[in-house]
Amino acid sequence: MSEQEVLDYVLACDELPTLSTVASRLISMAAEEDTTISDIAGLISKDISLSTKILRVVNSSFYSFPQQIGTIHQAASILGTNAVRSLVLSFTFLKPDQMRGSGFDYATFWEQSLFEAVAARMLMTAIGAEDSEEGFVAGLLQNLGILILARAFPEKYPRVEQRINEQQQDRCAAEQDIIGADHTFIGSEVVKRWGFPEALILPLRYHHEPHRCKTTSSALRQLCNLVYLAGLLAEVRDADKPDEALGFFKKQVRLKLNLQEKTLERFLEQVHTEVEDTAKFFDLKISPQKSIAEILQIANAKLSVLNLTYEQMNRALIEKTVQLEMLTKELEKKNTLLERLAHIDGLTEAYNHRYFQNQLDREIKRADRNEDVLSLVMVDIDHFKKFNDNHGHQAGDQVLRQFCDLCRSTIREYDLFARYGGEEFVIVLPQTDAETANEVAEKLRSVIASHSFSIEREHYHLTASFGVADLKPVRDGFGKNELISRADEALYAAKKKGRNNVVVYSQKKKWFGRTP
């Protein structure tokens, strides 16, 4: 059969996966210029089950929003059209319990698809790309063509798998030989007929060969590269020589992404736990995930066993037993270090948003037990977008790092400094009331305003605005979300006053603070 004949057969096949009514309509609506957020929210709200799932994910640590989101309209307004579309498509396709029979291993297929989706999303986040949810869906669906071919040709596709396993043949080549078309062509052509946007069609078509994608859009080329890299990393898990597969993955990352080595290593350390967490959000049952380091250790152990004689194995076993206690203590130290790295923002090395949310919960509980007070300071670098526009994002990134170093060196060691998002930061001050927090913020404001940020022999001066609010749980009738909201209101007031000043929240809205 020719490629076109295979495609025609697939499109007429009853076993072809289908889009839900909501997903199909949402794709066409998203392409219409006059579509509003209300239109999208109204469509999704008609499906109660889907709406419930979306709200559950939106309010989970998958997004870590500071406030509870109660309606689909609110979710759509905050996330945007692309992210909502991505969530709908994710729930539409992550239904492996409906795909059984024909001898195809659907459980393994969906587990690998989820891994690739999470890896693509994390890579997009690591490089600061927009619409990381687009990466999630592109990674999730990149091998949709495999699923389609397996269901359309249930007798032939096991021969493809056999050819891959026994003869080590490339999957696309095996599909071409046995069926007449490969999964990249079939998957991309099917979703094209479903009305998918180009941002999802191209990654399906070129996820094995991103260099063949000739689009003029740098964002789409980057998305194809990210999906390709996510697929390479997934191959490490089942490779006969995972160390070589990982080495090739790292080489491709260096070629295609401007990613710091430390950020890459942190990504490799966290990806397996992120996959497990994401599976829970989407009610997908998967096997326990091994870290990349554990995969390499197992492979090395198997290789060592093959090279040992029986006597050597006994000797090695005794030596390993003696070393076990020492290794256990060392492992505990390394686990503590890894746990800390999981809480750090890759660019600024400040604590990340998720860690801030969790730590603020703990500090509020501690203040409640001790009948104490704590303060929250929200910080926003003034006119930072204009700085990026004038001097470039690389200079902006360096300023952010220097800004965070300056703030951390100024506050107390046990105060929490975290990146809230973009150029906005938060400081949690335990055992500190609003008046004292105001003094801390004013000191920071003054230090920042007088500091010279040095980048490649150029010097820049920036200012920042501060919003302060405090909370004494035994006295006040509100919690974390209200504290964040009050600090945010104070920050907004500080910016309205002309920026480069500190404002402390007051219930009477009689803001007080200092203006330089």
- DSSP string for residues in 443-495: HHHHHHHH--EEETTEEE---EEEEEEEE-TTT-S--HHHHHHHHHHHHHHHH
Q: What's the pTM? A: 0.56
The per-residue pLDDT for 361 is 93
Supply the range of the domain harboring residue 62: 18-94
The per-residue pLDDT for 97 is 47
Closest among 396, 392, 370, 366 to 381, alpha carbons compared: 396
**Is 467 in the same domain as 394?**
yes
Distance (Å, rounded) from C-alpha 63 to C-alpha 57? 8
**Is 444 in the same domain as 459?**
yes
**Is 275 in the same domain as 307?**
no
Domain boundary among 341, 373, 401: 341
**Is 416 in the same domain as 402?**
yes
Could you state, in chain order, the average pLDDT of each consecutive group of 10 residues for the chain (516 residues)? 87 76 75 76 79 80 76 79 75 60 74 88 84 80 88 87 84 90 90 83 90 88 90 87 88 86 88 85 80 81 62 67 74 73 86 92 93 95 93 92 94 92 94 94 95 90 95 88 94 94 81 51
Beta-bridge partner residues of 464: 381
**Is 31 in the same domain as 75?**
yes
**Is 378 in the same domain as 303?**
no
Any idea what the CATH number is for the domain that residue 206 is in? 1.10.3210.10
**Is 476 in the same domain as 488?**
yes
Total number of domains in the chain: 4
- 272: which residues sit within 8 A by CB, 6+ positions away? 289, 290, 291, 292
**Is 35 in the same domain as 144?**
no
Q: Is residue 280 part of a domain?
A: yes
Q: Is residue 250 part of a domain?
A: yes
Residues annotated catalytic, as ranges: 423
**145, 187 Cβ separation under 8 angstroms:** yes
Q: Is residue 1 part of a domain?
A: yes
